[in-house]
Amino acid sequence: MNAYKAFAVASVALLIVVAAASFFVYPTNAREEYGYISQGQLSALAFTGANVSVNGTGNSIYISGPATILVETGPMKANVSMYSFEISGMINPEIIVKQGTILKFIVVNVDSDASHNFVITSASPPYTYMSGAGMMGGGNTGMYGSSMMLSPASNGNLNYYNMTSTFNSAGTLWYLCTYAGHAQNGMYGKISVIP
């Protein structure tokens, strides 16, 4: 084996070791993932996955087990307030989740002229103009998680943030946008964790 070959083999071996170490050190449910996607990539994401039942007439979604939920912030739709979340085709639906469930939220800001985030809290409405002041998270902070503030879409790039929350205790929680004035104007919804 010449020196070049030995170097190449050593490099590949090192890459494998580093990749394996990253995998074990950072489980996916603890890693913050963010960036931007195109409208086409968003369309490919727009799914209702396993363990998810949508009740359109009840404006609710029931989740019986581990699932991935797509949350679009600030939908640009006629007759829909910009102070909204769109989940599985519904506006600010109640999310009913079985206790103990791990949910991955893919939060995508589809609004082209406002920033939004997605924060889970036990603080109930009504919310004030600055309701988010004490809740503002820079990442997966707080008991149930919060996305970073996502800038408006620009040049077809939609900012997203992935977060994972485990709902271990039965009770009522809320999701909201903590940008000043948004929750006050209705940008929130209920999460019911049921035994």
By CB under 5 A, name the binding residues for Cu ion: 116, 177, 179, 182, 187
With CA atoms as reference, report the closest residue to 191 among 101, 122, 141: 122
Burial readout 111-141 (b: 16 or more C-beta within 10 A, e: otherwise):
beebbbbbbbbeeeeebeeebbeebbbeebe
Tell me whether residue 63 or residue 110 sits nearer to Cu ion (CB atom): 110
What is the smallest separation between the CB atom of 116 and Cu ion, expressed in angstroms? 3
Closer of 59 and 81 to Cu ion (Cβ): 81
Q: Least distance to Cu ion from the beta carbon of 184, Å?
A: 10
Which residue's CB atom is positioned nearest to Cu ion?
A: 177
Q: Which two tokens stand for residue 181?
A: 């004035």
Q: Which is nearer to Cu ion, 101 or 116 (CB)?
A: 116
For the bound state, the minimum distance from the C-beta of residue 123 to Cu ion, rounded and expressed in Å, comes to 16
Sign of CA dihedral 155, 117, 142, 29: negative
Q: How far is the CB of 133 from Cu ion (least distance, A)?
A: 14
What SS3 string covers 40-108? HHHHHHCCCCCCEEEECCCCEEEECCCEEEEEEECCCCCCCCCCCEEECCEECCEEEEECCEEEEEEEE
Closer residue to Cu ion, CB minimum distance, 44 or 80 = 80
Contact between 70 and 106 under an 8 Å Cβ cutoff? The reply is: yes
- Identity of the residue, 117 or 140, whose beta carbon is nearer to Cu ion in the bound complex: 117
Q: How far is the CB of 177 from Cu ion (least distance, A)?
A: 3
